[in-house]
Amino acid sequence: MRYNKVRKTKKKLGLFLVSLAIIILVTLVGVTLFIKDDIQSISGVNKKGSEVTENTANNVPVKALADWKLILVNTENPIPEDYTLETRPLPNGLTFDTRAYDNLIAMLNDGKNEGLTFVVCSAYRTIELQTSLFKAQVAKQQHKGLSDKEAYNVAKTIVALPGTSEHNVGLAVDIVALDYQRLDDGYADTPEAIWLKQNSDKYGFILRYPANKEKTTKIMYEPWHFRYVGTDHALEMNRLNLCLEEYIEYLRDAALAV
Ligand SMILES: [Zn+2]
């Protein structure tokens, strides 16, 4: 009897210890897995979070550089041969890039509502028209007594070479006043030019060839020439006081710095 009792007690103790060991083991494994899982999920969130931040930062300047609105057209950057565009006629018959059309009309209408009288004297130009304008300018300079080479060099600071004018991509517009239609510096003092300079960025336009950027743009001051770049870029460029060439450099640097 006694032997049996001892055996039973030992057996119970054994079962208890085994159960305890299993419980401890299961608990330990569970806690370990839970902690591990928790660490993984935390690091997963962090990893994901930083990846998202990096991607966003990466993409902002890169995306901007690929934006059609920022196409850089100048002597060094002629229009790509495969460039295509759709234009829409303005009330006076000239045409403008369809994608920027509404912004141009809104700007002109808002100015008109403030008593200004704008005249759009140039918008989209075909390469053929640009060629004839350029040739006419060369002839004008030759007539002033300049040699062929001199006339050519002066002409290209006044009229862009065919294929290197923003007018050829339909995103540039020359706007003067009804009572001041001469394309000279005097236009800058008209209420129309002053209003456009102050407000055009809200409609996505920039004064493309400012007086203080002639060295960079290589185009003389043109208070009448406005270029569509989109509202975000226009506001940012004016805030930073950068012309388009400088703004693109700024974006390239930003893209490389990320
Ligand atoms: Zn122009």
Which pLDDT score is estimated for 23?
Answer: 55
Report how far residue 74's alpha carbon sits from residue 69's, in angstroms, rounded to the nearest whole number. Answer: 15
Six token digits for residue 213: 């950027």
Q: Are 221 and 214 in contact (CB under 8 A)?
A: yes
Which pLDDT score is estimated for 54?
Answer: 46
Which pLDDT score is estimated for 157?
Answer: 86
* pLDDT, averaged across the chain: 85
**Which residues carry out catalysis?**
222
Q: Are 196 and 173 in contact (CB under 8 A)?
A: no
Which pLDDT score is estimated for 96?
Answer: 98
Which pLDDT score is estimated for 22?
Answer: 56
Partners of 176 in the beta sheet?
119
Six token digits for residue 53: 């931040």
The CA 146 to ligand 1 mean position distance, Å, reads 24
3-state SS record for the chain: CHHHHHHHHHHHHHHHHHHHHHHHHHHHHHHHHHHHHHHHHHHHHHHHHHHHHHHHHHHHHHHHHCCHHHCCCECCECCCCCCCCCEEECCCCCEEEHHHHHHHHHHHHHHHHCCCCEEEEECCCCHHHHHHHHHHHHHHHHHCCCCHHHHHHHHHHHCCCCCCCHHHHCCEEEEEECCECCCCHHHHHCHHHHHHHHHHHHHCEEECCCHHHHHHHCCCCCCCEEEECCHHHHHHHHHHCCCHHHHHHHHHHHHHHC
Which pLDDT score is estimated for 45?
Answer: 36
pLDDT digits (tens, 9 = 90+) for 199-224: 999 999 999 999 999 999 999 999 99
Q: Are 208 and 166 in contact (CB under 8 A)?
A: yes
The CA 34 to ligand 1 mean position distance, Å, reads 68
Which pLDDT score is estimated for 258?
Answer: 74
Residues with pLDDT less than 50, the chain: 1, 28-55
The CA 222 to ligand 1 mean position distance, Å, reads 8
In terms of Cα–Cα distance, which of 221, 178, 199 is closest to 92? 178
Report how far residue 113's alpha carbon sits from residue 136's, in angstroms, rounded to the nearest whole number. Answer: 37
The CA 121 to ligand 1 mean position distance, Å, reads 9
How far is C-alpha 103 from the geometric centre of its chain's CA atoms? Answer: 16
Contacts of 214 (CB under 8 A, 6+ apart): 220, 221
Q: Phi, psi at residue 80, to the nearest 5°? A: -55, 145
Six token digits for residue 125: 């130009």
- Supply the CATH classification number for the domain 68-125+165-257: 3.30.1380.10
Q: Where exactly are the structural domains of the chain?
A: 1-66, 68-125+165-257
pLDDT digits (tens, 9 = 90+) for 94-119: 999 999 999 999 999 999 999 999 99
